[in-house]
Amino acid sequence: MSKSKIIIIHTGGTIASKVDYKTGAVVAKFEPEELYALYPELKEVSDFDIIKVANIMSEDVDFNFVNELALAIKKGIKKETKGIIITHGTDTIHYTSAALHFMLKNLPIPVILVGAQRSSDRPSSDAGMNLICAARFIIKTNWGGVGVCMHENQSDESCVVLPGEKARKMHSSRRDAFMSFDDGLVARVSYLSGEVEMLHKVIINKEKFELTLIDKNIWVGLIKVHPGFDPKILRNYINYSGLVIEGTGLGHVHENCLPEIENLIKKGVKVIMATQTIFGVVNMNVYSRGRKLLELGVKGNYENLPPESVFMKLLIELSKGS
C-alpha cells in the first residue's frame, strides 16, 4: 500500500479556538471534527486521520505536552503515513517546532506545525490556508523533518514552510508573523495553483529514527542581558543544568557579568551564548569580550539559530545526558 494518509494532531491554539460570544474573548474549545467540517477542501488533497492530543492555548505549553506530542508523532509514523500536521497556537509554535526538531532524529516523513492568527470561525481566518498548504506540501514532497507552514506575506497567495529550528514568531498579530531573515526556507506553497516549490535540498534520511524525550529533572534558563542588568541575577541559575544567555550582537555581555558566568561554569552549569538580535551567527572571536567569554568556557560559538531554538537544543542535549 502506498503512503496516502496525513495525520492531523490537534493541540489547541487560535487555529482551534472560537470567539466566546458571552465575553468576546477567544478561548480554546474547538473540536477536531469541526475543523474538517470547516475545510472540506482538505478532502481533495488527501485522506486524514484526526487525533486530539491537547486543547490548550500555546502560552500554557510545557514539557509534558511536548513529550506527549513527540510520542504521538512516533506512534503516527507508519507505512501508510505520508506526513503529520500539528495544529498549534502560534505564540509558542516555534518553541515546540525547535524542540521536536532536536527530539526527533532522522524523521522519515514531514511533520508540519500550523497555526492561525485569527480563529477558525472568523471570516478573516488564516487557518484554512495554512492547513491546506501544509497538506499540499506533505503530499508533494519526500522531505523528512519538522517544519512550520504559515502565510508568506499579508496576501492569501502563498505559504512558506520554515525549518522547525529556525522559525520564529516575529509579529503579535500579522498573518505573516513567521519569518526567516537569512536563508533556509524549506518550500513555498502556492495557495492559488497548489504548486510546491522546494527551496531546500531534499535529503531523504535513511538512518534509524530516534526519539529523545525531555527529561523533566533538567532545568535550563533563558535570559537576556541589557544595559542596567544586575549580574547577581545570574546566581539564580546556580542549580540549573544549563543557561542560555541572549547576549548583545555577536554574543556579548557587560564586563560585570564575567565573574558570575565564570562561577556558574565552575559549578557545572552549561552556559551557552545566543544572540538577542535573533538573526545572524554568534561569533565570540571577533571582539575581545567574546574571546574572554570563550576562555571562561562559554559555548555556542558559530551557532546560527534563534535563542529559543538554542534553548531547546541545550535542553534536549542535556536530556540525552550529553
Active site residues: 14, 90
Tell the smallest beta-carbon distance from residue 315 to a second copy (Å). Answer: 7
Collapsing DSSP to helix, strand or coil, 49 comes out as: strand
For 241-276, give the secondary structure using H, E and C.
CEEEEEEECCCECCHHHHHHHHHHHHCCCEEEEEEC
Instruction: Count how many Cα atoms sit within 13 Å of the Cα of residue 181 in the half-sphere of its side chain.
Output: 11
Q: Which is nearer to a second copy, 72 or 308 (CB)?
A: 308
**271 binds a second copy, rule: CB under 8 A:** no
Among 46, 73, 87, 95, binds a second copy (CB under 8 A): 95
Q: What are 170's three cell numbers? A: 516575529
- Least Cβ distance, residue 103 to a second copy (angstroms): 13
The single residue among 277, 294, 296, 320 that binds a second copy, judged by CB under 8 A, is 277
Q: Determine if 62 is a binding residue for a second copy (CB under 8 A).
A: yes
Query: Do residues 19 and 121 make contact, with C-beta atoms less than 8 angstroms apart?
Result: yes
What is the rounded CA–CA span in Å between residue 65 and residue 56?
A: 10
Angle, nearest 10°, between helix axes 93-103 and 63-76?
A: 60
Count of residues binding a second copy (CB under 8 A)?
Answer: 70
Binding segment for a second copy (CB under 8 A), chosen from 33-41, 60-68, 71-79, 189-197, is: 60-68
Report the C-alpha dihedral over residues 23, 29, 33, 36, rounded to 10 degrees: 60
Contact between 315 and a second copy per CB under 8 A: yes
Q: Give the rounded distance of the alpha carbon of 258 from its chain centre.
A: 31
Nearer to a second copy, 57 or 186 (CB): 57
Are residues 27 and 18 in contact, defined by beta-carbon separation less than 8 angstroms?
yes
Least CB distance to a second copy at residue 227 (A): 5
Question: Which 133-172 residues touch a second copy, going by CB under 8 A?
Answer: 169-172
18, 200, 213, 248: which one binds a second copy (CB under 8 A) = 248
Is 234 a binder of a second copy (CB under 8 A)?
A: no
Cell 505549553 sits on residue: 61
Distances (CA, A) of 226 to 29, 94, 247, 282: 39, 24, 8, 17
Give the binding site for a second copy (CB under 8 A).
20, 23, 25-27, 57-63, 66, 89-92, 95-96, 99, 169-174, 177, 181, 219-230, 233, 236, 246-255, 275-283, 285-289, 291, 308, 311, 315
